[in-house]
Structures are given as C-alpha cells and as structure tokens.
Structure 1
Amino acid sequence: MTVLVLHHRGSLVGTPYDQWLADHDGDVLLITSREHLALVGEELPAEGGGYARTAAVDGYETSGELEELALALAREHEIRYVVACQERDLERAAELRDILGLPGQRMDTVLPYRDKVVMKRRALAAGLRVAPYREIECATELVGFAEEHGFPVVLKPRDSAGSVGLRILESRADLDDYLADGFDLYGPYQPNLMAEAFVHGSMCHVDGLVVDGRVVLSWPSQYQYTLASFATDTGPRLDLTLDVGDPLAQRLLAFTEQALGALSGPEHFAFHAEFFHTPEDELVLCEIACRTGGAAIRDIVRTLFGVDPSESWVRAQLGLPLPEWLGRTGPEKLTPRQMSGQLVLMKRPGRVVAIPEVPPAFPWIEKYQVFVGPGQTMKAAAFSSDFLLTALVSGADQAECRARLQVLEEWFLGELVLEPLGGNG
C-alpha cells in the first residue's frame, strides 16, 4: 500500500508524514518543492528511513515536472494513495488520482473550495450571505462593479491562497492607477480575477475536521488584525479563540455547518472557514478551504482538542486508526479543554543582528518558532505566511491568552536587534 505525498510548501519537520504513517503497511514516497525547502532552511529527507523515495522538484508550481515524476513513480511502485495537505496541491492530487484510478478526493469536491466564484454561487443558493462579487474579464466590468458597489473594492484571483494576488482599491484614483499600470489582460490572474465589495467588520475563522462525512471537531477564533495588511503591518497580529460561553461561537459553528453542507466535500478533510462579523452583528461568508489553516492553526486545534487535524486527516484517508474519540462512530463534537491565542510578527526590512531563538520558560507557551537567524537580511513580507515569528499560548479564557501574548511580544521585541538596510536594501 504505497503512499505518494505531495508537499508544496512549509516545514517537513513540522509535517512528518513518515511518522504519521509509520504503522501503515507499505512505503511512503515524497515529492516536494526545492524552493520552499530552501525557504524554510531544510534539507530533503534521506531515502531509506521513513521515506522509501524522496525528490525535490525545481519549479514545483509552474512546471510539469511534479506530474511527470509522480507518474514515473506510479509505474515503478504500486501507489494506492496520493496525499496532499496544502491548498495548491489539492487539484494536482485530484488529477493524479483520476489518472491512476485511485480513491480519495476528486476535482468535483476540490473545485467548490478552490474556485471562489463557484463557492459563492453555491453558498448563495443555500441561503447564506456573501459579499457582492463579479467575475472580471475586462476593465469595463471592473469599472462597472466599482460604480455599482462603491469603494473599497477587493480584487483577488478566483483560486488564490495565502492572500497571493489580493489587492484592495480604496478609491477611484486607486482604480485608475491599477487600470493604467496593474491590469494585464494576459497576466497571471486574467481572466482568473474576481472583484468583491468590501465588508466592514472583524474576521473570524472556524477550523475543524470531517471524518466519514461528519464534523467531529470544530471551533472558532477571531483575528485581531486585517489579513491583507501583511506587507505593511509590523505590529502584533493576534488571533484568539472564542470562549465557550460566547454566543458568537455557537453562531459561527452553525454557520460553518451550513457552508460545508452547501459545498459538499470529500469523505474526510480538514477545513478552514473565514467569516466576516459585521458591525450590524451579521455573519458573511468570506471563503472556506478544504485543508488545515496556515500559520499555527494546526497547533491551535491541537491545544484545544489534543489532536493534530492534518495528521488525523491523512490517517483517515488511508483508513488508519484514529483516537477513539474521533472514531468513525464517535461521540458528538467536543468542547475545547482550554483556550488558545496566536501571535504572528511579519518579516520587515532589516538585517538580523540578534534574535531570541529560544522562548522564555513560561509553561503556557505551546509553540514558539522564529523563521530567520542572525546575519540574515529580511525584506517586507511577500505573502501572508512570510513570518518573522509565530507563537502560541494557552489559557483559561480569551482574556488570559491576550495578556500572555502581550508579555511574550514585549519580551521578544526587547531581545530582537535589527540593522536598517541601506538605500538599495
């Protein structure tokens, strides 16, 4: 029962597929991105340990080398499963399963979570509120949308992830500048572009796990910052779980179940859903992905429930045993055992002179990871997961988590020493 793992980006140390699948009967093969291994400072795992075959592909996102290699491996090995946990791998994995006749998620259940226009159409048909939107294939459609819905206007690729390609036009002057210099009918996001009306309010997200078509765990959190500001926001970006007694938590859980029902999905998957909570106390679907959330969201779920959602997702796909309380005929969804909070600091221009690579000995620090070292030069964050620091804390409630994150942030910034870049940095 050979398993082929596709790993687009992020740490392999943090996603040890070979350990997650150590008890399965067969080999584990790995294809990953050479560029992203370099980005996180890791080497390709050696063959002969947990992985029978490993390969790092150049141009992972843009070339066909991944598919060519995957099909070559399929000819050499009896591949029974293709596993992919990152959003930009979901379609490629589905296509490989289709070609090879393998079980697992196919394109019909990938598309509603990857194509935001399809997603919003289905949500609207199910009676869920979404922001007004339009597919954009020419400049006239964009101007017409702005005139109808006003500013700000949010532009994004229909299949974007990690805020890549997202742009907010604040005014008619921004729109004119964009059409003059940024709008390329033949560029990478055309005609894959959509416009949305800006929704005022806070952003909430709900993260969970579906096993055998049933939500077995799920809990909401609330971003304390604007997601699209990653390139300019060097302040603390906090993400806090909602308390068990918060009425908004139950509303978000119910809304999530409705959204999942509208989109349908594979038999087993993790999900990351984002909703606006407006000043008028309404909930509006932003988008939902059939994969685990980024940053430290896996660790948030682990802190809340004691289980890694990605590991459980992978094991469920192969029919491997899960914790008893996540069994295929398990109990009702769980209540979190404690609350959690996340601190993210984005990269910012400067050369790192000193950085605290080891956290202070606070027992409530659940995770602490720095992404640069002394001597490295940083530029402004290029995407929403271009981190300087991520840290996770636990606490009895949201207020305690917030206070602990503030203590940790002040300590970190007090130890961090950056040298400004020169005029050409």
Structure 2
Amino acid sequence: MTVACVSGRRTVEVLAGLGLRTVLIDDEISAELAWLADVAVEADLDDWDAVERALSEVHRRSPLSAVLSTRDSYVRLAAFLAARLGVRGLALPAALNCRDKARFRRVLQSAGLPAPRWAQPSRVEEAVSAAGRLGYPVVVKPREGAGAAGVRYCRGADEVSSAAGELTAGGKQVLVEEYVEGPELAVQAVTVDRRTEVVNVLLQHVGPPPRFAELGYDFPSGLTAREEQAARDLAEATLSALGFDNGASHIQLRMGPAGPVVIEVNPRPPGGRLSYLTEVVSGLDLVRAAIEATLGGPVTRTAPVASCALYRCVTFSESGVVSYRPEVEQNELPPLEGPLPPLVEMDVSPGDLVLPLDDPEGGVYGRVLVFGNDRAQTERDHQAILEALQLRVDPIPARLAATAAAQGR
C-alpha cells in the first residue's frame, strides 16, 4: 500500500515503521525526512491545484491507497486530495464541517445536539448586539481555524468590541458564542467507515479567563458513570452528524449544568503528549490508529500499562529568571511508585526569563506526566518530581521580563 501524507514528521515516521510506502508532500522537506519517505514532493500547500497536479502524477505512476494529514492546517487539503484522486481519506464535508466553526455550529444545530448558543455577526456593532442577546460572559472567536487561536472570553460590550474589532481588522469573520460554565473534557476517538470507538475521556484543567491556557489532564476523568457515558454518547453522535468517516479525532466538551455540550472537534489525533498518555492508559497509538483507520482498519491495540495518569503543565505566577535542577529532566529522578518512568520536559533552561500565566506573552514552560494505578499515587509522584526539580523564579519587573523575552525570540 502507498499512503500520501500532507506534512507531519511523526506521521511519516509511523508510516515508515508500518512498512507502508510513503509519499510526503510539503512546502519544504528536509534531507532527513526526504530519506525517510519513499517519495518526497515539494509544493506550495496554499495552492491546492498545484498540489493536486503534483500528487496526481505520483498517483498515475504508483497508485495511492489513501491521503491523510494529522495537522490541523492541512486536514482539509488532505481530504480534498483524497476526494479528487478517489482514494481513502477523511470525507471532505467532514473536514470542512470541523474547520469552519459556523458550518460546524449549523450542523450540530440541525442534528439537535447540545452546543452553546451562537451568532455570526458581520460587523463589530452586530457582535456587541449578539453578545447582549446571548448574555454575558460570551466567547468571541474566528470563524475559521482550530484550537484557541484568536479566541477571547468577554465580560462586557467593550471587550466584545475589542475582540471582534481585532478579528475583523485582520480580515477574519467572527462568531460570538454563549460561554458554558463547567468542567472541560477532552475525548479521543477512532472512526473506521463511520463506526466510532471512544478511546478515552479526560478531565482537562484550564487556566482562568480570558486565555483558558492548557494546564493539564486527568485520567480517569473523575466523572460519574452516567456523566462519562453521556460524554461518550455525545462525542459519537457529534462525529456522526459531522459525517466523520475515517481517522482519529480529539473532541472538546464542557460538562454544563444540563449535561455535556460540544465545544469543538479537531479531526486529527491530539497534540502535545496526549497521544502518549492515551497509548499508556488505553493501548492505542493514536497516530498509528489514524493511519490504520484511514486505510479501513483493523486498528492495532496493545494492553494498557497503567490505569491512571496525571498530566500537569509547568506555569509561573510571576515574571523572572527561572532556575531548576536539569538533571531531573534527564531522568535522575527520586524514588517513585508508578509502573513506568514519568515524562519530565522543560521548554526553558535555567537562567531563562519566564512570564506569568496571565501575561499575553506567558504560557506553558514544560510538562510533567506520571502514571499509576490510583489517583493518590500519581499525585504523590507528581509532588516528588516537583520537589526534586526545585523550580524557582527570581522575580524581576514584568515589563523588563517581557522586553527581554521578546528580544530573546
């Protein structure tokens, strides 16, 4: 079998490991990736016609079995190419439904699925009026895209006007949505020929508004059996309504006062270390599962190694110079109780400048992921790692830190 992958190093590595003939298509391809792929095609990924011509020539010489991408930016392109070449892939309507948030909301509304109330204003003043009708607080977001880019939590008309103004000034269309109070959930699923299996449900920890930064995840979710089943059922119904037929997906829900509601569907495996977490606790490598599902299955599963996981991001509450013991990151760990080594990653080095979580330029500076067979044990191991790291910030004025950090970039 020959599979075409639109960008994505990890996907190419897994395809090669599966022994599948791999065609990589990207704007620029390093010598290392070109060596790993069987065929490397460089093309402007913003020019879909040019990409189609290039891939059609490859397909003519050696027929493709499927086209896929595990990157948000290129899921629609991969679905378009699969449709044009008549090979397996994610259905193009499903890819469009997931990426276009207005289209996404209309599909859910037509299917009668629980989701935030919403409006699509065409001008800033209409956004303010819509927010007033929906009731504050609201969320203002761009119509196109995925994830939290451009998403703003707004408490009043001035904040809505500012958020909508920034989006429209950048040439983007705007959505205004009701803000749903409640815990956030991350649901992983694999679908083969429109038959969906929910792999797991995670409780997601997020920071305070307006940024809602990712702070971590818990498995199991801590929901009641009835709540978790409702989340699973809603995830399956949502994918069905969207026409999602093949691949892995990452679905964001909120457990509102009346039950779960759908926030977003990302038509690809989760990013960061969530795929690794899922492999440990559920026995599925989600990138491999996405490939196998796209090809029609079966999906490979192994025995879970742990029944509990705690994932926490490293953030700071003040500006300053960070210090910690890097040898802990390099696996010089204290005695732990978990069944396998933890993952400890820092994105900064001792002596680097860091900013607080609530700073527009701040955010996540690392992550700790521990596994076990009960929640109390994972919490003890996490605390032991933090104590061994000896994380500390020597404060400096926020403005000085922000200026220095910007110069460092």
Q: TM-score range by the shorter chain?
A: 0.7 to 0.9
Of residues 289, 314, 325 in structure 2, which corresponds to 1:345?
314
Contact 2:125/2:161 (<8 A) preserved:
no
- Matching residue of 1:331: none
1:197 is aligned to 2:197: no
**Matched length:** 389
- 1:17 maps onto 2:12 in alignment: yes
Tell me the TM-score normalised to structure 2 length: 0.80
Matched, 1:213 2:199: no
Give the match's secondary structure for 1:224.
Answer: strand
Match of 2:34 among 31, 47, 68: 47
Change (3 A) 1:399 1:123: farther
C-alpha distance 339-422 of structure 1, shift in aligned 2 (>3 A): closer
CA distance in 2, matches of 1:185, 1:222: 33
The aligned counterpart of 2:344 is 368
Question: Deviations along 1:6-54, whole A, 9 cap, x unmatched?
Answer: 225xxx3xx252344444453x2324566xx9xxxxx662533x32344
The change in CA–CA distance for 1:386 and 1:183 in structure 2 (over 3 A counts) is closer
Per-residue deviation at 1:203?
0.9
**What residue number does 2:273 align with?**
296
Tell me if the contact between 1:208 and 1:301 (Cα under 8 Å) persists in the aligned partners: no
Write the distance in 1 (CA, Å) between the matches of 2:161 and 2:12: 48
Alignment-derived partner of residue 3 in structure 2:
3
Alignment-mate amino acid for residue 178 of structure 2: A
Structure 1: runs of 5 or more not aligned:
38-42, 327-333
Q: How far apart are residue 133 of structure 1 and its match?
A: 0.2
Q: 1:178 to 1:385 in 2, by over 3 A?
A: closer
Match of 1:310 in 2: 287
Q: Which residue of 1 aligns with 2:407?
A: none
C-alpha spacing 1:135/1:16, structure 2 compared with 1 (3 Å): closer
Q: Look up the match of 1:260.
A: 239
1:164-183 map, 5 Å: 164-178=149-163, 182-183=165-166
Structure 2: which 5+ runs fail to align?
Answer: 405-409
Q: Give aligned-pair identity as a percent.
A: 20
Are 1:230 and 1:384, in contact at CA under 8 Å, matched by a contact in 2? Answer: no
8 Å Cα contact 1:295-1:385 kept in structure 2: no
Compare the two structures and name the one with the higher helix fraction: 2
The C-alpha deviation readout for 1:304-346, integer Å capped at 9, x for no partner, is: 12220111111232357643x69xxxxxxx9996121211125
Q: 1:317 to 1:177 in 2, by over 3 A?
A: closer
User: Cα 1:346–1:83, aligned 2, differ >3 Å: closer, same or farther?
Assistant: farther
TM-aligned CA deviation for residue 265 of structure 1: 1.2
- Name the SS of the counterpart of 1:155 in structure 2: strand
Taking the aligned partners of 1:79 and 1:386, their CA distance within structure 2 comes to 45
Distance 1:249 1:335, change over 3 A: farther
1:146 matched to which residue of 2? 131
Q: Matches of 1:310 and 1:2 in 2, distance apart?
A: 17
RMSD after superposition: 3.7
Q: 2:57 aligns with which of 75, 79, 84?
A: 75
How big is each residue's C-alpha offset from its partner over 1:324-379, in whole Å with a ceiling of 9 and x where there is no partner? Answer: x69xxxxxxx9996121211125896666666232425444443333344576667
Does the 8 A contact of 2:325 with 2:388 survive in 1?
Answer: no
> 1:116 aligned to 2:95?
no
- The amino acid that maps onto 1:174 is E
- Correspondence for 1:275: 253
